[in-house]
Structures are given as C-alpha cells and as structure tokens.
C-alpha cells in the first residue's frame, strides 16, 4: 500500500484512502504527512520492494540500527534473533533487538561504528541455525515455556482458586527451565520449540525474503541520519515495553556459561574497582544534579510529581527543600538504616562513610556495617571512584553504570582517529625496531612482547629479534632457554626445513601455551611420549636407544613430528637454527659411532611437564588479551584475525570490555578505516597520536614481523606482483608507506611509488644480514630518485 500511495499524487492518494480504507480527512492528512516526513528524513519510504536500514546515534551516544520492513512480526521476530546471534559472533557486539510488525530496532552499546550493510544481510541457508542458537536464551522462549508448564500443571498453585503472583511464576519457571534444559527430549521443552518456531515465527517467509534480497528482487538501502526518523521513533517507542518483563530471560548466566568466563575470577584478575582515573569529574557533577532533581527541567510541577520526587530522594535538609520542593509538599518519614542508605546511594554519586554519617548524625561504625551488608548483597558497589576522595567509597550499581557510560563516552570523544599510515609508523616504534639496547634484559622484554606469536623459525632470530636487540648474539637466547626463563613451542611445520615457533616466558606459559594441534598417532610416537613422560628431559641418543633404535632418520622425524604439534620442546634453541636440507643426510654404515645430527642436539622434554596443568578458561583469556595488547598497543579485530589467534576476537571481547570498564585500557575509534572495536593501552594511544604527522623514518623489516602493519591490519598496496607475509620476504616502509617489497630469496623487487636511495640502502642492509647470496636489484619501472 505504501508503494502505491507514494506513486500517486496527493489528491489521488487521498481519494484511494477515503474509498478503500474508509479514512476521514484528518486521518488522510496525518498519514500522508507521516509518509512525507519519513521520505524527508531517509530519502526513501520503505515498502515491499525497498527495505531501509537506518543508522543513527541515540541521546547517550549509542548506535541504533533500524530495519524498516512491512513483512510483519512473524518474519521480523526470527530475523531479530538471527541478527543478534550474527552480530555477537562476527563483531563481538552485545546487540539487543526489538521487533514489531513495522520493523526491527537494534541497540548496539559501546561500538564506535555501526555494522556494515553486508553484516545485516543473512544467508537463507544459515538463518535457521542462527535462530535456533539464540532462541533458548530469549525472553520469548522463557515466557512460552512458563505458559506451557503452567498448562501442564508443572507449576502448581499454592492454593486452589488463588492466583500465583507473576514474579513467583517466573521464578519457578526459570528453575524448571534450567533443569529441563539438561534433557532435550523433555516434552514441555519440545512443545515450546514447536510453538515458537511454528506459531510465532514464519520461517518459510523469512527464508523467502532473504532469497529475494540475495537475488536483488528486493533492494536494501542503508541510510545514516542525525536523529531517529518518524518510522524509527515509532519502533523505539516500544523499546521500554519490550524489556519490561526481561526477568523471563536467563541471559547472563547462559552467556557466561557459553563463554566459559568466570566473571568473579575476571574481576579478581583485573583488581578492585579503582576507577579514579577513568570516571570524568564533569560527568560525576552532571549526574549528581540529575539524581538530586536540581535541574530546572526536573522540578516538580504538581503534588503528584513532588510526592514521587520525595519518595525517590528520601530525607531533605531545609536548604535542599528550598532548592527543590515547596514546603507544602514536605512530609516527615522514618525508615530503617539500610533502606535509607539504599535510597541515599540511588540518589547520589559515589560517597564515603562519613557523608551519610554526618548527614544523619549517626555513628560511622553503624553506617559502615550497614553498607558492608548492602555490598555483600550487590545492592551497592565498594571501590575507589573519585579523584578527590580518599579511602573506600560506595556507589549504587545503576549510578556507577551511568558514570562509566558517560565517562567512557567523554574519553572516546576526546580521541581523534589517525590515518592508517600513522599505525604503520606506530608499530615499528612500539616494538622498538632499531633500538640500540642489548643484553639479556632487553631480550626478555622482546620475548615478553612476542609471546604466543607463531613465527617461522628461520626468521625469528635473524629478522625479528635481531632488529630489536642491539648486538644480538644467539647465545643470549640459548642461555635463557637453558636457564628455564624462556620456553619455545612448535606451532606447525613449513615444509621439510622450517616451521612456526612461539616463544613464552616460563612464568606466563601455563596461561598461554595452547593444547597440541593434531598430535601424531603411531606406535613410535607413543614410545617417544612414554619415554619422555617417564624419564623427563633426555638427550636424543638416550631417547633413540630407549625407544628401540632402528633407522635414525625415522626416529628423528618422529621426534620432530611431536615438536611441530606442540608436544615436545628443547632446552636450547640450537636445533631450530640447524634445520635445513643439509641436516638431512642418508644413513651410512660405520664402525665408529658418529656424531648425532645437528637438529637432534640438546635435551628434549614434554611441553606439558614444563607448563603443568595450565590455567582455566578465564585466566587464559585474561592472559591472552594482555599479551595481544602488549604486542599491538592498539588491538583491532584485524590484528587478532591476522595472527590466527584461537577463538578469534569474539572470545577476547568480554575480557577487553571488562578491562576497559575497570579503567586499564581505552576503547575508541583510534585508526581510520578499521573496525569500531579498537582497544588500546593508555600509553599506546598517546604514542599513536604523536605519530599522526609524518616522521620521515625509513625502516626495513621482515614481511612476517609483527611490527609490519601490511598484510594483516592494513591491506597490501596495489601491485603487479603478489605480496604476502612470507618467510624470507622483506619490506621497506618509508614514513608509514610501503615503498619496497622484496620477495622470498630476492627473486623480484616490487615498488610502490618513487624509489629513493635511502630505500635501497635499508633493503641492502637487511638483505646482507639475511645472507641472500644472489643479485636482488634488477630493473625498476620508475627511476631511482637522484640516481
């Protein structure tokens, strides 16, 4: 109907509404004006052939995304569930969706940029799985289960003829659902699934809609607006009512179990609520005025509003009464101490024990005891919140959430994003490329920053460590490994003469070393494992004799299979340096015993014996987030994906968000062109912003170096050749711009823009260090400037 009305002139549209819909003149005027206002706001009015995705920020700065469609609630409801699941899976966003017959409204808290249009267009083949994954944790499913359980007499009444309060029904139903969830074939559970999927959802219509979008029979248009359009305002008007009965939704517990994240343990790992560096004093002052009702727009206008304000604020001094209420509306009242403190916390910013003690003339000990009881029940939060306060403070959880949200919003507004080339300048500086400091202490700093990063063994010392440690000598790493300060673990082979290796500090290894990947299974591998488990660290000759001898090459290859799967390590780094075709020699007969192969040197041991039982999931995620932040300074989704980190960005997101809320890291849109979920250490933000302007430095580094932003966080520039983060390839970066790319082995040299003599000098220096015994400079498409 909307499409037809928009195609008619106003007079014809009015006539159609009058004849076919029975509208009077006032209704016709209102409806046509409503459609005109929508067209003015979004440029297009949604109809059955044109869907509109509207994106805007709300009054507190959170992103809202409204999908305007005319296909009704039975299609919109499952689509909303699927979008919630997709955004949480792909972007790590805790999206909340509301649906009506007119569309879907998504609330995206704490994101700097809204999801792209392709993130909101789902495949018809996967929508069923997404809905099924999201539905059990929804309020809709819990409510339908409660009704079915009541009808089947599984929720008996206390007495016949007496109605059970709704809140008690919810509590009993939630407990029953928690138990029933352990039995998928429970009849009431199955009936709830059938009722929701068949009666409340129209899945065939939804898949048909998605197929029409994919075939472009239906067009989807994205629109960014400054404020909510008329259609969006109607959707948002229903938002509060939708979540009024959210008690039916056992969301926090289910998602915490799904993430295997212990929130209490995470809070312990992050420390106490020390937010004095995070909470903004201006935000605290503004919230205090709002809570106390001292803003002009919040003054009571009549007796009812005065009564509500007094009930909310509690007792008032004479000065406060004059400021906010007429004397006629004041009435004395008395409440128990805990009730007074609960209301006091609800209407004040963080306070210390002496504040209510002085106000009411009560002993500080009594106030402290009552506050401790409230804190134990979670009704107030204890911590350190204001810079001007000393000692422990108390705050209501809702007030603290408001302060956090506004303070974080203020912090994010202060941070202006930098162009991508600033990140390419930042990473080498953050990693200390070219630092002259050397010795064991500097090497430990480098290993700390590289922990868990799988790098080719052929480049980890020559190209990565040597660029960060002045006058680096291999014996330094051997000393740390033999002393037990550093552990290396294999992360997969790269052909016959190389493989990926990750370094760890011994104290951090239990929380960072991942489980073995595809452990080899054969009788020989089992014999090797059994010997190392029984005897501990062993020389290869002892391993060879204890495991039956035979073909030495076969035995050694089996041992290296265990190395690359992450099961076995060595007390020196020498075997990794000595890998290569020269180390693989055919067995020969000899009367005298010959020296073992270089790749068998040192003592071999099981990684599990070095790291012990490891850590639980929460400790591991907390340690992983810390390591990635130390390595990248500014952590983005692209950086995590580029490293191939197990679990991806979504698994780390809850920990990163908790670290931000505790004030330990910052979140914002730091680098242009990257995703909105960017987290950074405070020092890294200042360093990044200081490198916004050009610096003129020319740096040569390995293509696989984590200080190289290209190929992971930033895309490779367009080139005639193929650029990749390959072992043995090198890059020259000039002031954040990729200038040269030398392919592995010096086979070809790719240029990006004008080539300067300084570019070639940097490349020759690193190529000489890599001992590339061939001519690497061929011909250029552009002349060398000044040559």
pLDDT tens digits, one per residue of 58-80: 766 678 899 999 999 899 999 99
Residue at 495 is within a domain = no
Please tell me whether residues 284 and 231 are part of one structural domain.
no
Please tell me whether residues 318 and 373 are part of one structural domain.
yes
Q: C-alpha angle with apex 25: 22 to 27, nearest 5 degrees?
A: 70
Please tell me whether residues 115 and 210 are part of one structural domain.
yes
pLDDT value for 775: 46
Residue at 460 is within a domain = no
Report the length, in residues, of the chain: 787
Residue at 363 is within a domain = yes
Of the CA atoms within 13 Å of residue 432, those in its CB half-sphere come to 19
- 121 backbone φψ class: left, alpha, beta (φ>0; ψ -120 to 50): beta
| Cβ(37)–Cβ(207) below 8 Å | no
370-424 residue pLDDT tens: 898 888 888 888 888 887 778 888 989 888 888 877 777 666 665 668 888 889 9
pLDDT value for 776: 47
Please tell me whether residues 170 and 243 are part of one structural domain.
yes
Q: Distance between CA atoms of 79 and 100, rounded to whole angstroms?
A: 11
Tokens of 661: 């809320």
pLDDT value for 267: 56
Residue at 582 is within a domain = yes
Largest CA distance in the chain: 113
pLDDT value for 236: 76
Please tell me whether residues 179 and 101 are part of one structural domain.
yes
Residue at 421 is within a domain = no
Q: C-alpha angle with apex 133: 132 to 137, nearest 5 degrees?
A: 100
Tokens of 710: 């290209």
Residue at 749 is within a domain = yes
CA-CA-CA-CA torsion for 440, 445, 447, 448, nearest 10 degrees?
140
Beta-strand relationship, 730-734 and 698-702: antiparallel
Which of 414, 437, 453 is the last residue in one of the domains?
Answer: 414
Query: CATH code at 519?
Result: 1.10.10.10
3-state secondary structure 209-253: HHHHHHCCCCEEEEEECCCCCHHHHHHHHCHHHHCCCHHHCCHHH
Averaged pLDDT in 10-residue chunks for the chain of 787 residues: 79 83 86 87 87 82 86 91 83 78 84 78 84 79 77 60 54 59 69 83 90 81 86 72 40 32 51 56 75 69 70 62 51 65 88 89 89 87 81 87 76 71 90 82 92 92 90 92 93 87 92 87 90 89 85 87 92 85 43 60 89 79 93 92 84 88 82 83 82 80 91 84 84 88 81 81 77 47 44
Q: Distance between CA atoms of 116 and 673, rounded to whole angstroms?
A: 12
Distance of CA 778 to the CA centre of its chain: 45
| Structure-token match 């090198």, residue found | 730
Which of 613, 644, 665 is the last residue in one of the domains?
Answer: 613
Please tell me whether residues 640 and 558 are part of one structural domain.
no
Q: Distance between CA atoms of 338 and 581, rounded to whole angstroms?
A: 77
Comparing CA positions, the residue from 427, 485, 506, 491 lying closest to residue 456 is 491
Of the CA atoms within 13 Å of residue 786, those in its CB half-sphere come to 6
Please tell me whether residues 156 and 238 are part of one structural domain.
yes
3-state helix vs strand vs coil in the chain, percent to 5: 50, 10, 40
708-740 residue pLDDT tens: 999 888 988 877 668 888 888 889 988 888 888
The residues, any chain, with a CB within 8 Å of residue 282's CB and separated by 6 or more, are 410
Strands of the sheet containing 679-680, edge to edge, are: 634-635, 679-680, 666-667
Tokens of 50: 């044109």
**pLDDT cut 90: percent of the chain above it:** 16
> What distances in angstroms separate CA 141 from CA 88, 173, 198, 211, 589, one per listed residue?
19, 11, 13, 27, 74
| Cβ(518)–Cβ(507) below 8 Å | no
- Report residue 55: phi and psi, to 5°: -125, 130
Q: Distance between CA atoms of 771 and 204, rounded to whole angstroms?
A: 64
Please tell me whether residues 239 and 272 are part of one structural domain.
no
Query: CATH code at 667?
Result: 1.10.10
Q: Which domain holds residue 162?
A: 46-254
Please tell me whether residues 189 and 74 are part of one structural domain.
yes
> What distances in angstroms separate CA 279 from CA 292, 353, 391, 406, one per listed residue?
19, 20, 16, 8
Strands (E), 580-693: 603-606, 634-635, 666-667, 679-680
Please tell me whether residues 744 and 647 are part of one structural domain.
no
430-449 residue pLDDT tens: 998 877 778 888 899 999 99
pLDDT value for 455: 92
Tokens of 197: 């999927």
With residue 284 as reference, give the H or E element that holds it. helix 281-291
- Find residue 418's DSSP bridge partners: 671
| Structure-token match 């076969």, residue found | 554
Q: Distance between CA atoms of 375 and 372, rounded to whole angstroms?
A: 5
Residue at 477 is within a domain = no
Please tell me whether residues 137 and 183 are part of one structural domain.
yes
Please tell me whether residues 41 and 7 are part of one structural domain.
yes
| Cβ(203)–Cβ(128) below 8 Å | yes
Start-to-end CA span in the chain (Å): 72
- Specify the 3-state DSSP secondary structure of 325: coil
Question: How many structural domains are present in the chain?
Answer: 6
Which of 414, 439, 459 is the last residue in one of the domains?
Answer: 414
Residue at 320 is within a domain = yes
Tokens of 421: 């080339």
């Amino acid at each position: 109907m909307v499409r037809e009305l928009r195609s008619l002139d106003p007079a014809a549209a009015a006539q159609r509404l009058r004849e076919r819909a029975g509208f009077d003149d006032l209704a016709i005027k209102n409806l046509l004006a409503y459609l005109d206002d929508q067209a003015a706001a979004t440029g297009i009015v949604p109809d059955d052939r044109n869907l509109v995705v509207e994106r805007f920020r709300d009054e507190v700065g959170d992103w809202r995304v409204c999908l305007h469609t005319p296909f009704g609630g039975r299609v919109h409801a499952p689509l909303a569930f699927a979008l919630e699941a997709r955004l949480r899976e792909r972007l790590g966003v805790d999206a909340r969706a509301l649906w009506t017959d007119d569309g879907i409204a998504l609330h995206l808290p704490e994101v700097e940029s809204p999801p792209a249009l392709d993130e909101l267009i789902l495949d018809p083949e996967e929508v069923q799985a997404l809905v099924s994954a999201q539905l059990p944790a929804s309020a809709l499913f819990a409510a339908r289960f409660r009704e079915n359980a009541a009808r089947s007499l599984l929720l008996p009444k206390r007495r016949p003829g007496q109605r059970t309060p709704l809140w008690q029904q919810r509590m009993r139903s939630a407990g029953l659902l928690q138990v029933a969830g352990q039995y998928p074939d429970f009849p009431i559970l199955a009936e709830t699934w059938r009722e929701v999927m068949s009666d409340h959802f129209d899945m065939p219509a939804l898949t048909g809609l998605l197929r029409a979008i994919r075939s472009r029979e239906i067009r989807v248009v994205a629109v960014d607006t400054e404020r909510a359009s008329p259609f969006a305002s109607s959707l948002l008007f229903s938002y509060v009512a939708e979540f009024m009965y959210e008690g039916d939704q056992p969301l926090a517990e289910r998602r915490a179990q799904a993430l295997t994240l212990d929130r209490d343990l995470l809070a312990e790992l992050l420390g106490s609520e020390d937010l004095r560096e995070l909470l903004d004093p201006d935000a605290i002052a503004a919230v205090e005025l709002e809570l106390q009702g001292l803003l002009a727009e919040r003054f009571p206008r009549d007796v009812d509003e005065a009564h509500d304000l007094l009930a909310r604020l509690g007792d008032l001094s004479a000065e406060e009464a004059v400021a906010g209420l007429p004397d006629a509306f004041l009435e004395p009242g008395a409440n128990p101490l805990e009730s007074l403190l609960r209301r006091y916390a609800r209407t004040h910013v963080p306070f210390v024990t002496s504040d209510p003690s002085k106000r009411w003339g009560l002993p500080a000990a009594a106030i402290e005891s009552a506050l401790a009881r409230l804190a134990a029940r979670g009704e107030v939060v204890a911590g350190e919140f204001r810079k001007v306060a000393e000692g422990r403070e108390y705050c209501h959880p809702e007030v603290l959430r408001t302060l956090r949200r506004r303070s974080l919003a203020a912090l994010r507004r202060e941070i202006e994003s930098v162009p991508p080339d600033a990140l390419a300048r930042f990473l080498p500086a953050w990693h200390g490329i070219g630092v002259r400091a050397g010795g064991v202490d500097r090497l430990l700093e480098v290993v700390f920053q590289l922990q868990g990063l799988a790098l080719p063994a052929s480049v980890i010392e020559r190209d990565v460590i040597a660029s960060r440690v002045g006058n680096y000598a291999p014996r330094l790493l051997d000393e740390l490994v033999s002393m037990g300060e550093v552990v290396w673990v294999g992360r997969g082979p790269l052909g016959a003469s190389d493989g990926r290796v990750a370094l760890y500090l011994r104290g951090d290894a239990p929380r960072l070393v991942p489980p073995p990947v595809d452990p080899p299974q054969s009788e020989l591998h089992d014999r090797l494992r059994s010997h190392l488990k029984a005897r501990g660290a062993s020389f290869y000759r002892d391993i060879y004799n204890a495991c039956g001898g035979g073909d030495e090459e076969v035995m050694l290859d089996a041992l290296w299979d265990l190395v690359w799967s992450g099961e076995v390590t060595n007390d020196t780094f020498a075997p990794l340096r000595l890998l290569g075709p020269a180390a693989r020699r055919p067995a020969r007969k000899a009367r005298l015993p010959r020296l073992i192969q270089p790749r068998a040197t040192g003592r071999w041991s099981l990684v599990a014996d070095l790291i012990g039982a490891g850590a639980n999931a929460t400790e591991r995620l907390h340690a992983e987030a810390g390591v990635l932040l130390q390595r990248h300074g500014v952590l983005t989704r692209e950086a995590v994906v580029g490293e191939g980190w197990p679990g991806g960005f979504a698994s780390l997101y809850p920990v990163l968000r908790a670290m931000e809320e505790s004030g330990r890291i910052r979140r914002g849109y730091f680098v242009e062109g990257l995703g909105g979920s960017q987290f950074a250490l405070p020092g890294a933000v200042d360093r990044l912003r200081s490198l916004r302007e050009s610096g003129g430095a020319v740096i040569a580094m390995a293509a696989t170096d984590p200080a190289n932003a290209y190929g992971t966080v930033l895309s490779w520039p367009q080139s005639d050749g193929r650029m990749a983060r390959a072992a043995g390839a090198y890059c020259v970066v000039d002031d954040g711009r990729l200038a040269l790319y030398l392919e592995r082995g010096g086979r070809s040299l790719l240029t990006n823009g004008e080539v300067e003599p300084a570019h070639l000098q940097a490349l020759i220096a690193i190529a000489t260090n890599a001992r590339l015994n061939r001519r690497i400079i061929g011909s250029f498409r552009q002349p060398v400037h000044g040559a």
